[in-house]
Amino acid sequence: MTEPTRFVLNGKEPVPCENLADWQAFMDDIAGRTVARDVVGNFEILTTFLGHNRGDAESPQFFETVALDVKNQNPPFYAATWEKAESKHRAVMRCAEGLSNLTPEKIANGYRAVSYGVEPDRLWFVMESEETAIAALSEPVTNWHREGRTIVFTPPVSHQPPAKPEA
């Protein structure tokens, strides 16, 4: 038996959809498959249901989160469930907020970054050289460290209370 290729949402759960016309109508309803959409500083963070499994049966990837900005195409992040997609969306929002609050003067103590990116669990800045990165951040400090010529910020983990079980 082959794995289903098309999925729709039943509430927040992906379910197979054999009928192409039903699937296409579902996919055309962008609002109905959007988990979250926010603008944070210079970024638009968008999390949507893909309508297909980008992963496999053991590690499904039905949802995608992207951080769009005018300078960079940041890599997408995938999740298996609606709840995990919401969590990734919030993590990307926190990183985008931190990145949006930076000015060229604040980035790496005034040293020039040639690129940057946002990931759910970190922000990163590629410096002109490893020497520039060392000059900008000679020793690791709270939430900041160096990886070669890249300076990485890892936001503090926010502890959210566990969800209450539904009655």
Query: Rounded distance, CA 164 to CA 76, Å?
Result: 30
Does residue 143 sit within a domain?
A: yes
Q: Which of 101, 121, 146 is the last residue of a domain?
A: 101
Q: Which of 101, 117, 132 is the last residue of a domain?
A: 101
Does residue 166 sit within a domain?
A: no
pLDDT in tens, 34-62: 999 999 887 889 999 999 999 988 899 99
Does residue 64 sit within a domain?
A: yes
User: What's this model's pTM, rounded to 2 decimal places?
Assistant: 0.66
Query: In this structure, are 93 and 108 located in the same domain?
Result: no
Only one residue has tokens 């490893």, namely: 130
Whether 135 contacts 111, CB under 8 Å: yes
Please say if the pLDDT value at position 97 is more than 50.
Answer: yes
pLDDT value, residue 167: 45
Only one residue has tokens 């500083």, namely: 41
Query: In this structure, are 95 and 14 located in the same domain?
Result: yes
Whether 67 contacts 74, CB under 8 Å: yes
Query: In this structure, are 63 and 135 located in the same domain?
Result: no
Query: In this structure, are 42 and 9 located in the same domain?
Result: yes
pLDDT value, residue 159: 44
Q: Which of 53, 74, 101 is the last residue of a domain?
A: 101
For residue 74, give its domain range: 1-101
Query: How many domains does the chain divide into?
Result: 2
Does residue 55 sit within a domain?
A: yes
Task: For 7-51, give the DSSP string.
Answer: EEEETTEEEE---HHHHHHHHH-TGGGEEEEEEETTEEEEEEE-S
- Provide the b/e sequence for 34-71 (b: ≥16 CB within 10 Å): ebbeeebeebebbbbbbbebeeeeeebbbbbbbbebee
Query: Rounded distance, CA 9 to CA 23, Å?
Result: 10
Query: In this structure, are 74 and 138 located in the same domain?
Result: no
Does residue 163 sit within a domain?
A: no
